[in-house]
Amino acid sequence: MFYNVAYPPSGSLSKCANATGTSMNRWLFWITVSVGLLLVSAFAGLSFMAGGPMDAIEMVRFALPQMHMGTLKAGDAAPDVRLVALDGRTRFSLHERTGGRPLVLIFGSFT
């Protein structure tokens, strides 16, 4: 007794599997390249904003781990902080200098 079984031509299964693997490798390659370019672009932008690559590296190393969201809301009293005077040696608290009066901080350039 002979059965009529249709077999694919020899080697066509491996070609089909190989084509799928090649297609997947191509996708992984382009995804890796895209993510790499995105990271390089982000570092270049951060370097430009920070003033240079070394400043960007230092900012990432030291500033980012320190950042967190505070709990102050509009109208809350400012926390008392210790500051260094202009002479670089004397320390004082913010509350000592203001004496409870309002304090306005202006950040800007007046040149």
Q: Hey, what amino acid is at 59?
A: M
User: Where along the chain do its domains lie?
Assistant: 12-98
Contacts for 27 with CB less than 8 Å, ≥ 6 apart: none
Mean per-residue pLDDT over the chain, rounded: 79
* pLDDT for 106: 80
pLDDT tens digits, 51-87: 888 888 888 787 776 677 678 888 887 778 888 888 8
Dist. CA 8–CA 6, nearest whole Å: 7
Residue 8's CB is within 10 A of a number of other CB atoms, namely 9
pLDDT tens digits, 1-34: 556 655 556 555 555 555 566 888 888 999 999 9
CA neighbours closer than 13 Å in the CB half-sphere of residue 105: 4
> Which H helix or E strand runs over 34?
helix 12-50
